[in-house]
Amino acid sequence: MPSDKPTMSPKTTDPHIRWHQQLVTRAMREARNRHRSALVWFTGLPSSGKSTLAHNVEEKLFAGHYAAYVLDGDNVRHGLCRDLGFAEQDRIENVRRIGEMANLFLDAGIITLAAFISPYKADRQAVRTLVGPDNFIEVFCRCPAEICEARDEKGNYAKARAGVITRFTGISAPYEVPPDPDLILDTDRTNIQTSVSAVLSLLRERCIISEGGEGHAL
């Protein structure tokens, strides 16, 4: 069983700061929601379909009366991470912040769908370690770079090739493929409905959601 207390960052060393134990626990929230919380981490190249998939999964879960929320790579850079650029250390800090926020969402009893390029294996592993491996589901949206570039509505691949954007993942910055993801989706060949179904099936296998369970319509 997962702990009711979110894992605190190992960098919390100030002796004047201590964890204030909640009166309402994660287990109590999960019991009310009638489902477990979990972190589903979608990773892949830019324009590989991470955000589209995450938002479609969220829509399906919401329709089934599950508590779910998408943390989207672009969206968080409008607020929480707006002070960060795309240098290596900024990317590391970006993922670290999202991991800490997702950890709080787990405690809140929410199925969290995080859609981030997250190009470095070490950073994804750090999030897995932070939230606990039983709470972390890694989904690799696999798609060839040329297909990603062809479907890029923002034109960032072209800007990267022209040198307008520096350190762009897949062009001028590396992407480290997950060595052992929980699910691989070939998003260049698999339609969105099939991909959504595959994610939901995995959530059922992990006993996070149920097929038409009490209070839920899936």
Residues taking part in catalysis: 118
Residue type, 100: E
Interatomic CA distance for residues 45 and 147, integer angstroms: 10
Structure tokens at 211: 């097929």
- Enumerate helices (H) and strands (E) in the chain, giving the number of each: 8, 5
Interatomic CA distance for residues 136 and 125, integer angstroms: 10
DSSP 160-189: HHTTSS-S-BTTTB-----SS-SEEEETTT
Interatomic CA distance for residues 110 and 75, integer angstroms: 18
Residue whose C-alpha is closest to residue 81's, from 65, 97, 61: 97
